[in-house]
Chain A
């Protein structure tokens, strides 16, 4: 079965500094990978996704992520964070569900990003 590990529960970054959130996955086939962001009490918003092709993918809000098959990683990066980036970030891998006919997302436990002024 697939799994996602986000090793950092909390990360604190100063405003204007660079950011990297780590994500490692376990999946037997070529993965579909996603990063979502969640503001407090809200639903999840898709930041970016990797299906195939270029391993460096660009997303919304200035985020990017790099797929590294050899390391089973899909780390999220941003060169300069803003206070509005404070949120919960989830990495997910998409896989076919047991019943067939649909893909489901397996999520990591999330990384809480705190921005210091």
Chain B
């Protein structure tokens, strides 16, 4: 069966420090991969998605970037964190093709201080 791992679970980082959140998927090949951010009272916002190695699309302009160095690895990064980057970050995967559901990791609670 497929599983998705996301770490760390919680992270407290000072303003201006770098960020690296990692997500890996097991049990499937060539998945679509997604990074979402969840802010209080605002639902989930899609940040990045990837349909293959090295292919990254951004849905919103921001202080963050994403990379997919391997088929089942998705990384969310920042060179310098802002206070506004605080939130709950969720990685997800789906099968290729239209209309397939997304499966989510357990999330990372990021607090920028």
List residues of A whose CB falls within 8 A of some B CB: 9, 32, 34, 36, 41-46, 49, 51, 90, 94, 96-99, 101-110
Contact of B42 among A34, A99, A106, A109 (CB under 8 A): A109
Contact of B46 among A9, A105, A108 (CB under 8 A): A105
Q: Could you mark each residue 83-109 of chain B with 1 if its beta carbon is under 8 Å from any beta carbon of chain A, else 0?
A: 000000010101011111111111101
B side interface size, CB within 8 A? 29
A79 to chain B, nearest CB (A): 24
The 6 closest A-B pairs by CB, nearest first: A43-B104, A99-B57, A109-B43, A32-B99, A101-B51, A107-B44
- Contacts A42-B107, A43-B107 given: A102-B49 contact, CB under 8 Å? yes
The distance in angstroms between the C-alpha atoms of A42 and B6, with both chains bound, is 11
- Contacts A96-B98, A103-B99 given: A44-B43 contact, CB under 8 Å? no
B59 with A104: CB separation less than 8 A:
yes
A97 with B57: CB separation less than 8 A:
yes
Q: Is B41 part of the contact surface with A, judged by Cβ < 8 Å? A: yes
In the complex, residue of chain B having the shortest beta-carbon distance to the beta carbon of A104: B46
Contact of A34 among B50, B101, B107 (CB under 8 A): B101
